Amino acid sequence: MKIVGLITEYNPFHNGHLYHIQKAKEISGADAAVVVMSGNYVQRGAPAIMPKHLRAEVALEAGVPVVMELPVCYAAGSAEYFAAGAISLFEQLGCIDSICFGSECGDYKVLERIARVTADEPEEYKFSLQEALRKGISFPRARQMALKAYLKDDSLDVILEQPNNILGIEYIKALYKKKSSIKTYTIKRMVSGYHDEELTGSYSSASAIRKLLAYASSSIHLEEEGMFDEPAMSEVLTRLEGQVPPSCIRLLEEMHRTRYPIYSNDFSLLLKYKLLTETSDTLVKYKDVTEDLANRIMNHANDFITFDQFCDLLKTRDMTYTRISRSLFHILLDITNEDMLSYQEEGYCQYARILGFRKDAGQILSCLKNSSSVPIITKLTQTEDLTPVGLNMLSKDIFASNLYESIITNKFKLPFINEYQHQIVRI
């Protein structure tokens, strides 16, 4: 049985994701696809708009046989760590023949050429990179300049400014460094760009859909205050018909303002409390928190109002909003440099946790069970095969999920569901 691996966030699921699933199987010749999906926090340094079990259910309804969770330390990490974590998990499963990812350029050879340079780091490239960093240029921009100089190709600007291309480069680099036999394919993104915020045809971006859902939520809030009386959510769902699968529409309607939407600002008070317990010296232990950023956080602590406002306040020419947001979530979720080093030394992902599966996925589940070199977890009580490092990683996932669930409980005034109480999704 040939299986293609897909690395996803489904934040939320839309027609472009459905196209990705179908096209990935077609071009790889796979019999089935297995998805590794971010949990309750995503790579851009934010909470997912809806919880992982709900997003997994939508994917399963759309035909994905098995959905696994990418541990939070990688899901909320930089592109390099996000890719390294996902690729290591596919490697350790032992039965993934290929991966397929979406990219803005759709040109695998160009992305592979860049990936090999960033993996091998030839001296000329490394010197240019360090020179740019010493001038205070942000890492993404410094790397872009160094690659252009080394490869003598000004056209790389467009490629290196697009997020899915950057992630694709990191996937290829991770496979290259592991000398992996997993084959790699890319498909060109359909119509909308990653950051596009307006609906376009039948393939709008997740950003555009999140923006529309945010409008519905704000409208309902105004209605509760007696300032708005239009059926905003029904209008939004009508506009989303043709943009997302019908099963997704149903779940969006049923779960709105009971399980979603969740935003960064919902974590504001928790972050403020956490920062009150820290100092500049203690902050630097967290992943991505430099000494300079730690000092800025402490210097501006009294100016904290909301999560988003604080990110805007802290951002500089050499540190982007996303990088700061990601760092703040690392602080909030207790993801430290020491943790990340121990995970890397032990092979990155320490287990494969299944969030959900289709009832007809028996053959795939058997393949995973028989070939995986890491424990397959379907129940959180199944920890007897985990190493101490694996137990630490799982404890971070459980804490992060319970924190997210606490936000749901507080925001929508519903009973708290502990991570141990969440059932695996079966369709």
Q: What residues are designated binding site for ATP?
A: 7-20, 102, 164, 189
Q: Which residues pair with 426 in a beta bridge?
A: 357
Cα 23 to Cα 250: distance, rounded to the nearest angstrom: 25
Residue-wise burial string across 388-405, b where 16 or more C-beta atoms lie within 10 A, e elsewhere: eebebbbebbeebbbbbb
Specify binding-site residues: 7-20, 102, 164, 189
Residue-wise burial string across 100-139, b where 16 or more C-beta atoms lie within 10 A, e elsewhere: bbbbbbeebebbbbbbebbeeeeeebeebbeebbeeebbe
Strands (DSSP E) contained in 9-75 are 32-38, 41-42, 46-47, 66-70
Cβ neighbors of 270 (< 8 A, separation 6 or more) are 332, 403, 407
Alpha helices per DSSP H over 94-225? 108-120, 123-134, 139-151, 156-160, 163-177, 206-224
Cα 373 to Cα 23: distance, rounded to the nearest angstrom: 29
Give the position of tokens 């992996």: 180
Cα 291 to Cα 309: distance, rounded to the nearest angstrom: 21
φ, ψ dihedrals at 264, nearest 5°: -55, -40
* Nearest residue to 59 (alpha-carbon basis) of 219, 225, 244: 244
Contact between 228 and 222 under an 8 Å Cβ cutoff? The reply is yes
Kindly give the interhelix angle for 337-345 and 388-412, rounded to the nearest 10 degrees: 130
SS3 413: coil
